[in-house]
Structure 1
Amino acid sequence: MQEETAELIEGKVDWKGMPAQKDKHGGSRTSFLIIGSLTFESMATFALAVNLVTYFTGVMHFDVATSANQLTNYMGTSYIVTIAVATLADTYIGRFKAVLLATSIEFLGLGLLSLQAHYKGLKPPACVMFDPTSTCVQVSGANAVLLFVALYMVGIGSGGLKAALPAHGADQFDDEDEKEAEEKSSFFNWLLLSMCVGGAISLTFFVWIQDHKGWDWGFAVSTIAMFLAIIVFAVGLPQYRIHVVNGSSALTKIAQVYVAAIRNRNLQLPKDHDDLYEVRLDKEAADEGAELLPHTDAFRFLDKASIDTSSENPTPWKLCTVTQVENAKIILNILPLFLCTIIMTLCLAQLQTFSVEQGVTMDKNMGKHFQIPPASLPIIPVMFLVILIPFYDRIIVPFLRKLTGIPTGITYLQRVGVGLILSSLSMAVAAVVEAKRKRVARERGMVDASPFEQALPISVFWLSFQYFIFGIADMFTYVGLLEFFYHQVPKDLKSISSCFLWASMSLGYFLSTILVKTVNRATRDVTSSGGWLAGNNINRNHLNLFYWLLSALSLVNFCIYLFVAQRYEYRQGSHEGGSSRLRELQSVHESP
């Protein structure tokens, strides 16, 4: 009897395929290995997200706008690939193997980047940017192929890790255990903290190596960090709770609902929803964590997929269960909220591209003997988050929990809303700072001065305000979205749940590329430079107006989000921030 209570009910096994036990597998102790692995991965890649634009312009000789678009395309691909990897993890190979595969691909990609940066024959000849007498040849041919193959291997690996790692970490906790449910909420906060700690090291030490020792050394230390990430993650194999995959794609089941609903569109819905098609779960299926969802009245047109008109076994593309239909409704219900998060990543993309280009032109001195690299500017919000996240998780959340009765302090959607309005404020501040930077350039007659020869007499730390505000927005929105999507989606889509966040970020990066090109095309006839963001001279551009445009778009997006979030209904059996066990306790307490 004691051995039976030690086994998990949620369909988790150990690395040998035996039922996982609470006292031997999972919990906080194993989550620290997952957090440690993400820390090393963040060390390896964080600097790339902000300094690659410098690599593209200074080494590969792309112009400023092309460099920004190359970076956002890379980031967008990295995040969109999470959907494919998450489907693979949920359906076929499992989340643990998916993480191992992704980190190995990322490790190889970083190794190839190191080789290309080291050997002169694999990159364009060196030249002096902004010097009209120096001819700069953009990377092409086989060298360009090598660059993009290596770069997108890193992107695919990083995206794959982001797809499977959060869900694998959440698998280490049991929602039916109140203590573990609260620990899981903290786990998502600690995931962000681990990214901040790894990012802080990457943005300082790794960026310094890239700028002072060379890009070959910079990529080399990233490769070493990635190798350590693989080792740390693999060490935890004997202790992990591993989710059992059944080879059935949850995305396919959702697609079947829409196909069946369309095929049955002319049928009449029964008056009693109990007449809709559902299957019974035997004891074995229930023990493995299978779930049946109750019927809801939302999106009634999908209910036609569950109308049974055949006495024989129909194809699943003609008849679906009520649970299948309800799962499809959940995804459809989340979709408007998902769309409202895209604009925030559009703003983030500018902080990783144009803000770095701003920093290149500014005074980077910190004291008499040290210059801060522009790519290291995000260290300011990152270090703030390193301090704020533990304070928020250990002090603010328990305090709010007592006031609201919600284990996470405030609801997921409230956290997201705070981040969205802060992103609009961040872009407004960025516009004001850029206007000040350009005014200094005009007043000092340095509009056409090369930033590599003479910096503007304005401190680069003016950019810290926009980074600081957006850093706080990060903590609220991205962690809130991870928790929200994980708790709202069906069990078979837990890896896919994190992909809602990464997919929205991917669309934000791709939208950034489209918006930059669109703005340049729309403003090329009203500016002497051929567009607000055209050319290599950022002092002649109108980046401040572009920032105001992003601030306005973010504000409109926030208003739409408020309208959508107020009408969102949390799925049955899911609380706004807590475990089902806590809900049971609350219902018992409230019942007469």
Structure 2
Amino acid sequence: MVFAKKGLVILTIQARIPSLKPPKCDKFTTCEEVSGGKAATLFVGLYVVALGIGGIKGSLAAHGGEQFDETTPNGRKQRSTFFNYFVFCLACGALIAVTFVVFVAASLNSCFGRNSVNVVVRPSNAVVSPSNPHSGRKEIEEETEQAIIETEKPTHTLKFLNNAVAYEPIHSSLECTVEQVEDVKIVLKVLPIFASTIILNCCLAQLNTFSVEQAATMNTKLGSLKVPPASLPIFPVVFIIILAPIYDHIIIPYARKATKSEMGISHLQRIGIGLVLSIIAMAVAAIVEVKRKNVAANSGLLDDATKQLPITFFWIAFQFLFLGSADLFTLAGLLEFLFSEAPIKMRSLATSLSWASLAIGYYLSSVIVSIVNATTGRSNHRPWLSGANINHYHLERFYWLMCVLSGLNFLQYLFWAIKYKYRGNGNNN
């Protein structure tokens, strides 16, 4: 938390001192790139904030989940509710970011006559703590010690790792216990599931970026109020806030009765539902972009992206409906899956994989855009995703490409999910 505060101080200083600010933009598409000390100050501030928030996010979910008694069905149900509302609170924090913060920034820009800046906001961290913990740390540690005592022989899963126990190690520092080998097996087993969520986060990055540009060309008025395009992520945030209680209090109780199982919907099933919803989100995004460009063509504004199109930005809400639902299902499901499957000593590390998936997905999105532009820009053809006029982009083709990649990703996820065997007594099935 201290690092996050220091990073915000650095960013505040840069925003305050004129000599550290970038040059003003003539237009949104013709901004001068910063370099040298200005860029260094910006990135130092951002990375210090990221370092601080990363430490918080990596431990919050695991800390909260450990407050429940996982040895009882009721405790496991309440733990599932916690992870669901953990994501709910992330969305509540993001709602403040994309409404209050963005509107304040827009007001300041208006008051001081500065150019508007589009800011893409991703749901940030929030805290929710159970009010009635059922089990203390001591009981969990005693249970762990008992499990270690009962583990005398390596399992038959990933047999090649058993050599670390069966044979004399080259050096004493490489000597492993049965428990350590089994812990490594568990981590290796969850990695394919973790990797399968990266493409979904890549889709999140694309929609949270290009959708803002799309909305900037559309009618963003809500009655007499003009909504800043940067507030567009409010749609998935609101959908998460609405859907989370419905899922926990209506869908899950019904699923438990229908399946006659403790969880109703298993962790892997929940992640799979989210991946399917992300496929639908990209398909809907492609269809909406076709409609937007048709309106631009019919209005004679295809070559002029500076004029507002006679189409409401609420069309973008359809793709965010599925996007927000996908985020809720996959993120909450992945957090609980990693927490419940990981060794107790590695739970914070395991749940941190959820945020690693987010980071990798956003980096991968930049790589995919670069590859697409490099590939489609050959032979004097215009790249799909570059230029000053978004109406000349082939954004719909790019969305279909992401839809196909998401579909292929889902197929490989099914392969790993079907093969996966839960730990314990099958409480997640």
Question: Is the TM value for this pair above 0.5?
Answer: yes
What SS class does the counterpart of residue 283 from structure 2 fall into?
A: helix
Residue 3 of structure 2 is aligned to residue 105 of structure 1 = yes
- After TM superposition, the score normalised by the length of structure 1 is 0.65
Which residue, 109, 124, 128 being the options, matches 2:22? 124
Q: Distance in 2 between matches of 1:478 and 1:185?
A: 12
Equivalence for 2:120: none
Maintained 8 Å contact 2:68/2:134: no
Q: Distance in 2 between matches of 1:400 and 1:450?
A: 48
Q: Distance in 2 between matches of 1:242 and 1:144?
A: 48
**Post-superposition shift, 1:499?**
1.7
1:332-371 → structure 2 map (5 Å cutoff): 332-367=188-223, 369-371=224-226
Cα distance change of structure 1 residues 211 and 297 upon mapping to structure 2, 3 Å threshold: same
Maintained 8 Å contact 2:219/2:311: yes
Cα distance change of structure 1 residues 297 and 127 upon mapping to structure 2, 3 Å threshold: closer
Q: Distance in 2 between matches of 1:242 and 1:484?
A: 21
**Post-superposition shift, 1:494?**
0.5
Q: Distance in 2 between matches of 1:408 and 1:165?
A: 23
Maintained 8 Å contact 1:364/1:374: yes
Which residue, 409, 419, 422 being the options, matches 1:570? 422
Maintained 8 Å contact 1:117/1:216: no
**Post-superposition shift, 1:306?**
0.7
Equivalence for 2:228: 373
CA offset digits 1:131-150 (Å, max 9, x no partner) = 8xxx7432222111111111
Cα distance change of structure 1 residues 287 and 380 upon mapping to structure 2, 3 Å threshold: closer
Cα distance change of structure 1 residues 552 and 215 upon mapping to structure 2, 3 Å threshold: farther
**Post-superposition shift, 1:510?**
1.5
Which residue, 298, 301, 315 being the options, matches 2:172? 315
Maintained 8 Å contact 1:440/1:456: yes
1:18-33 → structure 2 map (5 Å cutoff): none
Residue 184 of structure 2 is aligned to residue 331 of structure 1 = no
Cα distance change of structure 1 residues 126 and 171 upon mapping to structure 2, 3 Å threshold: same
Q: Distance in 2 between matches of 1:164 and 1:485?
A: 13
Q: Distance in 2 between matches of 1:568 and 1:473?
A: 22
Deviates more, 1:475-484 or 1:395-404: 395-404
Equivalence for 2:325: 472
| Aligned residues between the structures | 415
**Post-superposition shift, 1:242?**
9.0
Which residue, 458, 476, 488 being the options, matches 2:341? 488
CA offset digits 1:431-461 (Å, max 9, x no partner) = 111122122223323234353xx21221111
Equivalence for 1:196: 91
Maintained 8 Å contact 1:427/1:551: yes
1:193-592 → structure 2 map (5 Å cutoff): 193-214=88-109, 286=142, 289=145, 291-292=147-148, 293=151, 295-309=154-168, 315-317=172-174, 319-367=175-223, 369-451=224-306, 454-525=307-378, 528-529=381-382, 531-571=383-423, 573=424, 575-577=426-428
What SS class does the counterpart of residue 126 from structure 1 fall into?
A: coil
Maintained 8 Å contact 1:532/1:542: yes
**Post-superposition shift, 1:566?**
0.9
Maintained 8 Å contact 1:130/1:450: no
Equivalence for 2:64: 169
What SS class does the counterpart of residue 172 from structure 1 fall into?
A: coil
Q: Distance in 1 between matches of 2:108 and 2:65?
A: 39
Q: Return the letter of the residue paired with 2:374.
A: R
Maintained 8 Å contact 1:295/1:322: yes
Q: Distance in 2 between matches of 1:370 and 1:344?
A: 33
Q: Distance in 2 between matches of 1:191 and 1:351?
A: 23
Maintained 8 Å contact 1:412/1:484: yes
Cα distance change of structure 1 residues 560 and 166 upon mapping to structure 2, 3 Å threshold: same
What value does the CA root-mean-square deviation take over the aligned residues? 3.2
**Displaced runs of 4+ in structure 1, greater than 4 A?**
215-219, 239-244, 283-290
Structure 1 unaligned spans of 5+ = 1-102, 220-225, 245-282, 579-592
Maintained 8 Å contact 1:163/1:496: yes
Maintained 8 Å contact 2:236/2:320: yes
Maintained 8 Å contact 1:115/1:216: no
Residue 38 of structure 2 is aligned to residue 140 of structure 1 = no
CA offset digits 1:234-260 (Å, max 9, x no partner) = x99xx999969xxxxxxxxxxxxxxxx
Maintained 8 Å contact 2:422/2:428: no
Q: Identity of paired residues, percent?
A: 43
What SS class does the counterpart of residue 458 from structure 1 fall into?
A: coil
**Post-superposition shift, 1:354?**
1.1
Q: Distance in 2 between matches of 1:213 and 1:242?
A: 49
Cα distance change of structure 1 residues 383 and 518 upon mapping to structure 2, 3 Å threshold: same
Q: Return the letter of the residue paired with 1:472.
A: S
Q: Distance in 2 between matches of 1:284 and 1:407?
A: 21
Maintained 8 Å contact 2:272/2:330: yes
Structure 2 unaligned spans of 5+ = 118-123
Q: Distance in 1 between matches of 2:144 and 2:381?
A: 66
Cα distance change of structure 1 residues 576 and 551 upon mapping to structure 2, 3 Å threshold: farther
Maintained 8 Å contact 1:416/1:476: yes
Q: Distance in 2 between matches of 1:377 and 1:528?
A: 31
Which residue, 67, 70, 76 being the options, matches 1:181? 76
Equivalence for 1:92: none
Residue 45 of structure 2 is aligned to residue 150 of structure 1 = yes
Q: Distance in 2 between matches of 1:216 and 1:174?
A: 54
What SS class does the counterpart of residue 353 from structure 1 fall into?
A: helix
Maintained 8 Å contact 2:220/2:313: yes
Q: Distance in 2 between matches of 1:122 and 1:215?
A: 21
Q: Return the letter of the residue paired with 1:329.
A: K
**Post-superposition shift, 1:536?**
2.9
What SS class does the counterpart of residue 536 from structure 1 fall into?
A: coil
CA offset digits 1:527-556 (Å, max 9, x no partner) = 653x11122321111111110000000011
Q: Return the letter of the residue paired with 1:119.
A: I
Q: Return the letter of the residue paired with 2:258.
A: L
**Post-superposition shift, 1:284?**
13
